[in-house]
Chain A
Amino acid sequence: MSTTLPDDRRYSREHEWVRVDGSVAVIGITSFAADELGDIVYVELPEVGAHLAQFASFGVVESVKAVSDLFAPVSGDVAEVNDALRASPELLNTDPFGEGWIAKVTLGDAAEIEKLLDAAAYAELTAG
C-alpha cells in the first residue's frame, strides 16, 4: 500500500498538502485522506476572496458515509478554486495530488511552510 508521495510539496497532520509556486500555494488533500474517506461525493469549496487561516477549517468534503472538515495548511486569500470538483468530486479519489486540487491561495506568510511535514515525515505519520 505504499503510494509514493510527491516530494515537491509539504503536508499537514490533518492530511492536506500544499505546493508553493512563487506567491501562489496550491492546496489539496492527500491520497491517504481520500482513501480513508472512501467515495467522495461532495466538496464544499471556499469562496474566491475568502481568507484562510493556517490549520483552520475552510470547507468540507463528504463521502457517502461521512462529513469531514478541510483544514488550511497555510494562511492566505483564495485566488481560485477547482470548479471541476463541483461536477466531479470523485477527482479527489482518483487524482488527489493532481486534478483533484482544491484551491489556490496567495501565500500570506511563507514561514508557515516550515510548520508542515515533508514527504518523508508525512509518510511516517501515515504508515501502519
Chain B
Amino acid sequence: MTEAAAVLRHTPLHGSHRALGARMVPYAGYEMPVQYTSIIEEHRTVRGAVGLFDLSHMGELHLSGPEALAFARYAVVSDPGLLEPGQAQYSMLCAADGGIIDDLIVYRVEDGYLIVCNAANHDAVFAQLESLRGHGDFDVALADRSEETALIAPQGPRAAELLGRLSDVDLAVLGNYRSTPGRVAGTECLIARTGYTGEDGFELFCAARRATRLWDALISTGVDLGLQPCGLGSRDTLRLEAGMPLYGNELDRTVNPYEANLGRVVKMEKGEFVGRSALAAVQQTGPQRRLVGLVMRDEAIARHGYPVLVDGAQAGAVTSGTLSPTLGERIAMAYLPAAKAVVGGQVEVLVRDRPHPAEQVKLPFYRRPKPDAA
C-alpha cells in the first residue's frame, strides 16, 4: 500500500479530488484520482453524458520565435506546417532510430506552437527538444509551461452543451482538433476540441491558480446534464475501446509508428526530420510486427504482458486489455508478427498458463455514433 518513499506531486485540483472522495493513486510521479465512484459508472457517464477529467499532470511545452515552425517540423514526425491557425494535430516525437519517445498533440496557437505530452515523458520530451534546439541552430524559444498550466477536460456527448452555458465562444464553428482562446466561467482558457475518450469533448488549458474555480463551475453547471468527475481508470477503458494507444503499453522506445498503425501520422514528404531515414526504411519494407485488436471468445480477460499464441506458439504479447464497459466484451490490443496480423485471424492468449481463444478484429472496438445533423 505504501509507495516507496517517493514524493508524489499534486495537481492544482488535488484538494478537490480529495473532497470528492476520489481514490488517489501514484501515476507518472503525481498522486492522481483513479476513480471517484466506479470505473464502469464513470466510463458510462462519458459515453452517455459528460465526464470531467483533471489532466493537469500532462506536460505543456511552448515553442515560439522566428523558426518555431521549422524546428517543430524537424522535431516531430508529423507536419505542423499543415496546421492552419487554431488547428491541432496528433503527432509523435521519435528518436533517430525511429523509436517513439512520446506521442503528443501539437497545437498551432496565436504565439507559436503548444506541444502537449504525456506526464511520464515530460522530462524525456523536454530533454529531446532542448538537445535538438542546441544542435540544430534554430532560432526558437522553448518554454516549459507545465507547472503553471492546468488542464481540465469535459468529455462526452453533452460536453458542448455544458461549455455552451459557460462560454461565449461559438462552439458550433470550433471543429474537431481546433482550438481558440476564450473564457469559460470567466476564466481565460485555451479551449481545444480534443480528447482521448472516443467522444466529442474539450480540453481546457488555464492558469494553474484558476483551476479550482473553473473545475467547480463546470461541476456545478453540469449537474443536470449528468456530469460526473472521472478518474484515470475510466480514461484508460475509454481510450482502449476507442483503439487509442497509451504510451508505456502500446508505445515505447522500441516501437515505431508503423508498427503501431500510426504510419499515416509520419509525413515523409516534408523533408528532413529526426528519425526520417530509419522510418523510411520501415515504410519501404513494412513493419515487422503490427498492433492488432483482439476480442476474447471466452470469459478470460487479457492483460498487459500476457503472451499471445498463433498456431500454439508464442508470437506476441498483449499491450492492454479489459472488460469493455460499453460492449460487454473482453477486448485487448497486442503486437503480432505482421504476417500473422489479419482481421479474423484466430489466436490464443495465455492467461495464467492456460490458452484462451481470441479473434483479431478491426480497430477501434468502439466508434461514437454520428451526430444527426448537428
Contact = CB atoms under 8 A, between A and B. Distances in A.
Interface in B286-328: 299-301, 303, 322-323, 325
A86 B299 CA distance: 9
Nearest to A41: B323
B299 A42 contact: yes
A62 interface: yes
Contact of A64 (B39, B299, B352): B39
> Which of A39, A42, A60: most chain B CB closer than 10 A?
A39
B48 interface: no
Interface string B179-213: 00000000000000000000000000000000000
Interface residues of A, number: 12
A60 B237 contact: no
A56 interface: no
B40 interface: yes
Contacts of B40: 39, 64
A64 B233 contact: yes
Interface string A85-96: 010000000000
Interface in A16-44: 38-39, 41-42, 44
A16 B134 CA distance: 58
Interface of A: 38-39, 41-42, 44, 60, 62-65, 67, 86
A41 B38 contact: no
B35 interface: yes
Contact of B38 (A39, A62, A86): A39
Nearest to B300: A42
A41 B301 CA distance: 9
B303 A38 contact: no
Given A64-B322, A65-B34, A65-B236, A38 B352 contact: no
A126 B323 CA distance: 29
Interface string B36-57: 0011100000000000000000
Dominant secondary structure at the B interface: mixed
A38 B23 CA distance: 10
Nearest to A126: B1
A66 B325 CA distance: 15
6 contacts: A39-B38, A39-B39, A62-B301, A64-B233, A65-B39, A67-B301
B39 A38 contact: yes
Given A38-B233, A63-B39, A64-B233, 9 more contacts: A38-B35, A38-B38, A38-B39, A62-B323, A64-B237, A64-B322, A65-B236, A67-B301, A67-B303
A89 to B, nearest CB: 10
B34 A64 contact: no
Interface in B1-40: 23, 34-35, 38-40
Interface string B351-365: 010000000000000
A71 to B, nearest CB: 15
A48 B198 CA distance: 43
A87 B124 CA distance: 45
Contacts of B34: 38, 65
A117 B358 CA distance: 42
Contact of A60 (B35, B233, B322, B352): B352
Contacts of B38: 38-39
A62 B325 CA distance: 14
Contacts of A39: 38-40
A44 B301 CA distance: 11
B94 to A, nearest CB: 30
A2 B39 CA distance: 22
Contacts of A63: 39
A60 B301 CA distance: 11
Contacts of A65: 34, 39, 233, 236, 322
- Which 4 pairs of residues, A with B, have the shortest CB-CB distance? A41-B323, A64-B39, A39-B40, A39-B38
